[in-house]
Structure 1
Amino acid sequence: MASHDHLIDAARRLGQRFRHDAVRAEDRGPADGEDALWPAEDEFSLAGATDWLNSPPLTGADLRGRVVLVDFRTYTCINWLRSLPHVRAWEEAYHDSGLVVVGVHSPEFSFEHDVDNVRRAMGDRSIGHPVAIDDQFAVWRSFHNHFWPARYLVDAAGRLRHHSFGEGGYEEDEAVLRQLLGEAGAGDLGPEPVPVDARGIEAPADWDTLRSAETYLGYDRTAGFASSPDVVPDRPHTYTAPERLRLGHWSLAGSWTVGAESSSSTEPGGRLTCRFHARDLHLVVAPPAGATVRFRVRLDGRDPGPDHGLDVDGTGSGSGTVTEPRLYQLLRRRGAVTSGTVEVEFLDPGVAVYALTFG
């Protein structure tokens, strides 16, 4: 919808003013065109959520007397996934002292509006705390939020006291959290910081070697498309990939339909190629309804071997299957990190690719 596109554009412009690290947070969700980071009211609101997971609907009044961590997320966001171990650790350590975590799922991609997809994704992450389904971005706007992930701390009186955006800042978050619990009368909170168990796709990025930025694969937000011809929007077309790619560029080969938010293969054998510099490479991808899609990954023209990601066959052959719409880890490099070229060949038609992310 045009109005939604306008909101995304406004959020992108406004978000750049507040972004503290362009790699470590996303700022592309809808905004209301104002510069304020905080609600006009003193108290926070969860009004406007279209559904709730793990809880009946909650209000600020319901949570009065508890310290609340409001965690904005969209389930395919790698930045949120890498922040989750910290939120999980705080919830486990401080729940009995009065902390309540409330997730707010404000979707980035169209398939993230499907509450069944969100429910499955939260279950996959063993998330048991309340999650507000914010499909219309009502809660997002009430906080004047611009980022995935974003963390807001609310004191026991219902007042917003602290915020942090993206990855990092965890020590300050925890210090403020403990301060607010102390103000609310909590007793001994134990040592800080609490231990954090971050593994698999939730492990921290290798920031020292990361040179690649998130790459969107639909024409609304993409950059660095290198196939011939240039993008033919919204209809099937046969693309040819160049022999070599520059760092940060990507290409399609075979028959694809390039849409606003994703590119969809229309025949078996479609290929997606990207030149990147990072330890980890992830792909946000969805199969056609009721089907699965087999794929094979090549790194610099070879099977990835020990550099395979969590969603690629552990034998190192590079094979995998897209079974549901989510973020898939295709590569986690074990040795020295250098620039490389990844090629993903989809052996079945109908797959939709949304974004490449790195770590």
Structure 2
Amino acid sequence: MLLILLAYLGGVLTIVSPCILPVLPFVFSRASQPFVRSGLPLLAGMALTFAAVATLAAVGGGWVVAANQYGRWAALVLLAVFGLALLWPGLSARLARPLVAAGDRLSQTAQGDGQPRVGASLLLGVATGLLWAPCAGPVLGLILTGAALQGASVGTTLLLLAYAAGAATSMAAALLLGGRVFAALKRSLGVGEWVRRGLGGAMLAGVAAIALGLDTGVLARLSTASTGGIEQALVDRLGGEPHGGGAMAMSGGPSMMMQAGGAMMAAADGAGPSMVATKGQGTGSLPDQGEVPSLDGAVQWLNSPPLTTAGLRGKVVLVDFWTYSCINCLRAMPYVKAWAEKYKDQGLVVVGVHAPEFAFERDAANVGKAVRDLGITYPVAIDNNYAIWRAFQNRYWPAHYLIDAQGRMRYHHFGEGNYAESERAIQQLLREAGSAAPAQDGLTQVAGQGVHQPADLKTVRSHETYLGYERAENFASAEPAVRDQAKTYTAPAQPALNAWGLAGQWTVGAERATLSGGSGRIVYRFQARDLHLVLGPGAGGKPVRFKVTVDGQPPGAAHGTDVAADGTGTVTDQRLYQLVRQGGDIRERTFSIEFLDAPVDAYAFTFG
């Protein structure tokens, strides 16, 4: 019930989000009509369509996104025609176009002196629902992440309906107020006609804004800033899951993206290295958190035959959810490995559950190579279907779950950090299980090197940035990004902090940008000690040479582990590459990587 209330209140806040502005003219076009027969059906159609599309997108994958694209453009055409008919009622007679004539008839139905038809209003509501692009704030992110990871359910649809109902409530209030203003203006001679035309112009402006992607670009970023804090306070107050803050949050399926009105929205953000959530805090008491979920469903096991929860009874088990290109997971890895080695003779079993984020991480050969390269010797379950992930109802990379010798969950921690507390919890459960090695109770000291070194949080002002259109933001090339088509881009000359751009011929796909031919560059304005980029050679796997510069110069002493001092390096595998590690003064700098060969795939920037 609290989550439904949270979803409703989050929807109410949508009305103050700038990214809802392109949709408002479609709603206010009904201001002069009776609310029950005109405004209410429109809002109902809008809410129901949004909830239906969002539910399908959360669990249905890419085909829903593609289908909604067609519906979105059809809706844009319908509403553009409606706007034109409002602006010029005689347009249909002059042009004699069937589509415009239909729009004129729809306009007359909605705005004429007769009683409006509920069906016409509902149709416009459906069209508006296909265009609706609410911002992916904490409340909607919480709903969509749960939908993607737990599958289709009545609860998911109820939460989405509650969110849509909240938005419809605030819009209804604005519509009722607008209707009174319209009625007052209409009583003035000639004003009603101009207001009607103004609404038509506003609708056309809304269509143009959505068609150009403004609702998912500048306006969406403004919305996040203006309402995100309020929504996060609601999440915290009403007991929702923490949002972001440290672990890399699973974005659904696990890379679930939903398209509503053309906006690709990540269910939850990725993130920084600090602790997200810990249960069972302190080592005085580790509460019973329930029976351990099943470990069934992995497509393959590495370093071990398949393990079961029943077969692990009598052991203390640490389950570590990770994926090999995740910087947060890589920075936590030295501690997990150290605990596995230190406590293996006392009864601790570490089980790594590899749940992929990117498509290349589903390749068992890639995972096996990463396990060998990282020196992981404990059992690893390849959870490509997210069966174990869903059984644990997990949402984060990395995530650590501790299970006692009786098969009961006793402790969990999301994200990096709190290593001392986690190790004390391990020690306590080993003592409860009868381990007789008190000399091992000292805490492990780990000095991570390279990508495993902890982040310098005091200097980080840049955040994880995806290059695929499903989660891309702050794209700053002169040309707008085109989805799934090769296009030549120009890099920004002076990008703002956290803005990035492409130069050369690139194809921007759902989860990656691919250099299609010739040479090409990626530019990013960042502030952090470390800069990483997830890269891979393109089709065929041919190594790709590259050269890195920082503020136009070779990195020198600031080079990362995968780059020489002169900035040269080679993409050989699909993985995370450390390209910059600075010392001394950490300030805003412009990073550039030039690829001398093609094709090459670029997925995401991370920082530390």
Q: Tell me if TM exceeds 0.5.
A: yes
What is the alpha-carbon distance in structure 1 between the residues aligned to residue 600 and residue 494 of structure 2?
24
2:374 corresponding residue in structure 1: 125
2:552 maps to 301
What are the within-5 Å matches in structure 2 for residues 284-295 of structure 1? 284-288=534-538, 289-295=540-546
Contact kept in structure 1, 2:247 and 2:396, CA below 8 Å: no
Alpha-carbon offset, residue 88 of structure 1: 1.3
Matched residue SS, 1:228: coil
Gap regions ≥5 residues in structure 1:
none
Give 1:89's match in structure 2, choosing from 338, 354, 375.
338
Q: For 1:44-68, what per-residue CA distance to the aligned partner results, in whole angstroms no more than 9, with x for missing partners?
A: 2111111110111110011110000
Deviation at 1:228, TM superposition (A): 2.1
Contact 2:247 2:397 in 1 (8 A): no
In 2, distance between residues paired with 1:20 and 1:187? Answer: 40
Q: Which has the higher contact order (CA 8 A, sep 6+)?
A: 1
Deviation for aligned residue 1:20: 6.3
In 2: Cα distance, 1:348 partner to 1:14 partner = 37
What does residue 30 of structure 1 align with?
Answer: 253
In structure 1, what residue type is equivalent to 2:357?
E
Partner deviation per Cα, 1:1-60 (whole Å, 9 max, x = no partner): 952468x98228899853365344333243799xxx99x972321111111101111100
Structure with the higher strand share, 1 or 2: 1
Shift in CA distance, 271/281, structure 1 to aligned 2, threshold 3 Å: same
Residue type at the aligned position of 2:557: P
Is 1:140 matched with 2:389?
Answer: yes
TM-score for both structures, normalised by structure 2: 0.56
Q: Secondary structure at the match of 1:18?
A: coil
SS at match of 1:176: helix
Asked whether the equivalents of residues 30 and 146 of structure 1 are also in contact (C-alpha less than 8 Å), the reply is no
User: Of 277, 282, 287, which aligns to 2:527?
Assistant: 277
Aligned pairs, number? 353
Do structure 1's residue 70 and structure 2's residue 70 form an aligned pair?
no
Matched to 2:527, the amino acid is H
Cα distance in 1 between the residues matched to 2:349 and 2:368: 19
Distance 1:19 1:115 in 2: 32
Please tell me the root mean square deviation across aligned C-alpha atoms, in Å.
Answer: 2.4
Q: What TM-score do the two structures reach when normalised by structure 1? A: 0.93
- 1:234 alignment counterpart: 484
Give me the whole-angstrom Cα distance separating, in 2, the residues matched to 1:241 and 1:348.
18
Residue number among 563, 568, 574 corresponding to 1:325 in the alignment: 574
Residue 339 of structure 1 corresponds to which residue in structure 2? 588
Which of 351, 362, 373 lines up with 1:113 in the alignment? 362
Where 1:330 maps in the other structure, the secondary structure is strand
Q: 1:45 to 1:65 in 2, by over 3 A?
A: same
1:10 aligns with 2:129: no
SS of 1:267's equivalent? strand
What percentage of aligned pairs have identical amino acids? 50
Q: Which amino acid aligns with 1:229?
A: E
Structure of greater Rg: 2
Query: Which of 440, 452, 457 is matched with 1:207 structurally?
Result: 457
CA deviation map 1:212-248 (0-9, x unaligned): 1000000000110011211100000011122110111
Deviation at 1:123, TM superposition (A): 0.6
The aligned residue for residue 505 of structure 2 is 255
Partner of 1:219: 469
2:413 maps to: 164
Q: 1:355 to 1:293 in 2, by over 3 A?
A: same
Q: Distance in 2 between matches of 1:161 and 1:114?
A: 33
> Which sits farther off after the overlay, 280-289 or 190-199?
190-199
